[in-house]
Chains A and B, each alone.
Chain A
Amino acid sequence: MKLRFWGVRGSIASPGRKTLEFGGNTPCLELRFGLKNRLIIIDAGTGIHPLGNHLVWSGLQNGPINTDIFITHTHWDHIIGFPFFRPIYISGTKLRVYGPITFEEDTLEKIMSDLLRYRYFPVLHGELTADIEYHQLAECKMDLGDGITLKTKYLNHPLLCLGYRFEFEDKVLCTAYDTEPFRNIFSTDVNALDYDPITSSNGEEAAREGNQRLLNFYRDADILIHDCQYTKQEYFSSKKGWGHSFVEHAIDSALEANVKKVILFHHDPLRTDKELLELEKYCQAHFSNRSDLEIMVAKEGMEIVL
């Protein structure tokens, strides 16, 4: 299994001098499997634009593009690059797009095709020449063929968002973005006016179970790509409930789930290269002696072979 990061930034693309090294594109991950070099893409953030160009310029001699795109959720930063994915304009391209939907009743096809309406874009979805199928996902286990198994799990984000776990030839890659720790949002202070013992204990248990469910999902992964948008200080001072994690949570989860390598991902758009390099140093200084866990900070263009 091979991975290549085409976009590692969260929320909004952030090009500029201060993000040159780690990159400013929003999430897009290219996965390659086995001798057939089977291509699977996770998310269609702005990073899917350079990936699409790369596929068209380098890959068409091997025949038309035939691939699966797994959308983690339909927030802008994870889908906005879709209209700019060059293969959708090439006849013969076959795309299967998978993803969870919102609590509204719109289908995944409706949500994605709405990106290509005249009010937003000069081409209509119906005018695309590629053959595109849409599949709505919930928590499930799927056989993707070629020996690849996919498992999905809901994460903790303000919109239904799926983590993906790919298993192939004894190797496991797991994604956990966008997510934050589950927590009991109900009062546990018996003296508080809004304290209710039943709600409080249900909340405690739901949060504990939610976190445990995710640890089980990451269990023994070779690579866990984890949301790390905030610092701990940022998270606890003003970002609780925004659906993103902080470094200590990502690393503790990886340690508890016996993960081999954790890749910190979905960087805040304001996080500069300098700050991300400091983050890398901080991780090495604070966590390297706690276990064999390898910690990396995701960088655009980074390639990993599993």
Chain B
Amino acid sequence: MLDRYIRQLPPFPATVSKAMEICCDSNTSPTDLTKVISLDPVLTGKIMQLVNSAYFGLSREIISLARAIIMLGMNTVKNLVLGVTVLSAFGRHKDFQALNMDMFWKHSLGVGVIAKMIAKKRSINNRLIEGYFVSGLLHDIGKIPLNSKFSVEYMSIMELPGKEPQPLYISEKQHLGIDHTHVGHLIAEKWRLGAEISDAITYHHTPETYQGAQNDILFTVILSDYFANSSEIGFSGNRILKDIWPEVMRYLGTSTDLSIADVSEFNGEVAQEIEKAQIFLKVAG
């Protein structure tokens, strides 16, 4: 069932109407097209899936939307986005949902924006920065199928942490037998998202078990997630703020002099970015 649902994952309600408006306009600007896709984890993931599965001979996975749009062409991308959004507009996914999708959208976008800001502050090469944003945007993608397909169970799980204080992913595992990082991993595999994004999705709650080479993006996403949760930027169902694994701060801190205090400075900027996105999408605050 999950597998079928992953194939038909709908875009976020916040972005659907703007995405349709932009894709139906024959004079759409590439910037607007990129912007609306970049504000939606599902649309972003689908574009990445297409470019990485078609161009499988590439020496490295494409994680930049701008790059994907140039390689695939505006028409292909517009048609793909339309295909995905039209499905959702026909109300196939109007089931009861436990998570408020607008709040969840805000959280996802917030983590993406913060990850990009941290990367900029750490002077990461422009070419690589989009990967930080995309990984942040997509880190909780595994919650979408759980939220829609097991909404009643999911609702009760989200209430649980108050009773037994533990992070959401542990409750998910206990009560559903699978957690959102695992579901996210399945999506990342299916969409061929590449190690950077895939590892951020899979290990953002368990960095201490991570053996791969994408520490930089993974740790940045973990810190961004922590910051988004502590500053209550949107809501992704997790009411328990677990301390960050010290190695994450050591890695980001010692290599870049980045501290929690620095990160807190991003607060205003993140709020501004989200507001800009809402104005662009015409979503009520």
Assess the A206–B71 pair: CB atoms within 8 A: yes
Partner of B31, one of A160, A196, A241: A196
Interface string of A43-56 (1 = CB under 8 A from B): 00000000000000
> Are the CB atoms of B31 and A186 closer together than 8 Å?
yes
Of B62-70, B144-152, B177-185, the stretch lying at the interface with chain A is B62-70
Which listed residue (B29, B32, B66, B79) contacts A206, Cβ 8 A? B66
Is A87 an interface residue, CB under 8 A from the partner? Answer: no
Q: Do residues A154 and B55 form an inter-chain contact, with CB atoms below 8 A?
A: yes
Interface contact A138-B74, CB-CB below 8 Å: no
The CA-CA distance from A154 to B52 in the complex, in Å, is 12
Bound-state CA distance A243–B74 (Å) is: 11
Given the known interface contacts A104-B83, A205-B67, the answer about A138 and B73 at a Cβ–Cβ threshold of 8 Å is no
Q: Give the residue name and chain of the B residue nearest to A187 (CB).
A: B31
User: Per-residue CB proximity of B113-144 to A under 8 Å, as 1/0?
Assistant: 00000000000001101100000000000000
Q: Which of B50, B66, B76, B129 is in CB contact (< 8 Å) with A159?
A: B76
The interface size of chain A toward B, counting residues with CB under 8 Å, comes to 33
The answer to whether A198 touches B126, judged by C-beta atoms less than 8 angstroms apart, is: yes
Interface digits, A203-217 against B, CB 8 Å rule (1 contact, 0 not)?
Answer: 101110010000000
Determine if A91 is an interface residue (Cβ-Cβ < 8 Å): no
With most chain A CB atoms within 10 A of its CB, the pick from B34, B64, B65, B70 is B70
- Taken residue by residue from 146 to 190, chain A's Cβ proximity to chain B (1 for < 8 Å, 0 otherwise) reads as 000000001011111000000000000000000000111111000
A186 CB contacts on chain B under 8 angstroms: 30-31, 34, 66
Let me know if A57 is at the binding interface, CB within 8 A. no
A113 in the interface (beta carbon within 8 A): no
Closest to B46 in A: A103
Q: Is the CB–CB distance between A138 and B57 below 8 Å?
A: yes
Give CA–CA (A196, B276) in the complex, Å.
14
B126-A207 in contact (CB<8A): no
In the complex, what residues of A have CB within 8 A of residue B83's CB? 103-104
Interface residues of B in 72-129 (CB under 8 A from A): 72-76, 79-80, 83, 126-127, 129
B56 contacts A by Cβ under 8 Å: yes
Which B residues lie within 8 Å of A194 (CB)?
Answer: 29, 31-32
Q: Let me know if A197 and B126 touch, CB within 8 A.
A: yes
Residue of B nearest to A183 (CB): B70
A184-B70, A186-B34, A202-B66 as given contacts; A138 in contact with B130, CB under 8 Å? no
Q: Is there an interface contact between A185 and B126, defined as CB atoms closer than 8 Å?
A: no
Q: Is A284 an interface residue (CB 8 A)?
A: no
Question: Which residue from B73, B127, B129 sits with its C-beta under 8 Å from A243?
Answer: B73
User: For the complex, is B260 an interface residue (Cβ under 8 Å from A)?
Assistant: no
Chain B min CB distance to A274 (Å): 33
Closest chain B CB from A193 CB (angstroms): 9
Q: Are B130 and A202 in contact (CB under 8 A)?
A: yes
Within 8 Å of chain B (Cβ to Cβ): is A129?
Answer: no
Closest chain-A Cβ to B269's Cβ sits at a distance in Å of 15
Q: Report the separation of the CA atoms of residues A140 and B55 in the bound assembly, to the nearest whole angstrom.
A: 9
The answer to whether B73 touches A158, judged by C-beta atoms less than 8 angstroms apart, is yes
**Partner pick for A139 among B55, B65, B130, CB 8 A cutoff:** B55
- Other A-B pairs, 7, CB within 8 Å; known A158-B76, A183-B70, A243-B73: A158-B74, A160-B72, A186-B30, A198-B66, A199-B34, A202-B126, A206-B71
What 3 A-B pairs have minimum CB-CB distances, sorted nearest first? A139-B57, A158-B75, A194-B31
21 contacts between A and B (CB under 8 A): A103-B50, A103-B80, A138-B54, A139-B55, A139-B57, A157-B73, A158-B75, A160-B54, A185-B30, A194-B31, A200-B66, A202-B66, A202-B67, A202-B127, A202-B130, A203-B66, A203-B70, A210-B70, A210-B71, A241-B73, A243-B73
